[in-house]
Amino acid sequence: MDLAHERGLLARVQREREAMKNDELRGELLPRDEVVRVVISHIVAAKVKLRAIPKKARTRIRGLTIPMARQLAKLIDEVLHDLAGDVIPKKPRRKRA
């Protein structure tokens, strides 16, 4: 690579870095770890609430038998298992110039 090309690449990286800093200062860019922590806490809370449905249903739905509640719990667990297949992606790799 020649010097002019190298300078062009450096200038682009510097512009991108400044743009990211500006986005962060405006509150348009959040730290990845913070976002992951919050999303995970919401997922865990949702899982707990979903798993509580069969027990709550037994007290609120007249005629709901224990075997029915168990079947409902199995259905909820199946859905949770299916959703667990979607994982949080790893940090993106940086492209090499």
pLDDT digits (tens, 9 = 90+) for 5-62: 999 999 999 999 999 999 888 988 888 899 999 999 999 999 999 999 999 999 999 9
Looking at the predicted structure, is the pLDDT value of residue 88 above 60?
Answer: no
Looking at the predicted structure, is the pLDDT value of residue 96 above 70?
Answer: no
Q: Where do the domains of the chain lie?
A: 1-30, 31-89
In whole angstroms, what is the distance from residue 23 CA to residue 69 CA? 49
User: Would you state the pLDDT for residue 92?
Assistant: 62
- What's the predicted TM-score (pTM) here? 0.62
In whole angstroms, what is the distance from residue 49 CA to residue 57 CA? 12
Kindly state the tokens that stand for 72: 């409902």
The answer to whether 29 touches 45, Cβ cutoff 8 Å, is: no
3-state class of 27 per DSSP? coil
User: Which is more confidently placed, 61 or 94?
Assistant: 61
The residues near 77 (Cβ < 8 Å, ≥ 6 apart) are 51
User: Would you state the pLDDT for residue 67?
Assistant: 96
User: Would you state the pLDDT for residue 29?
Assistant: 86
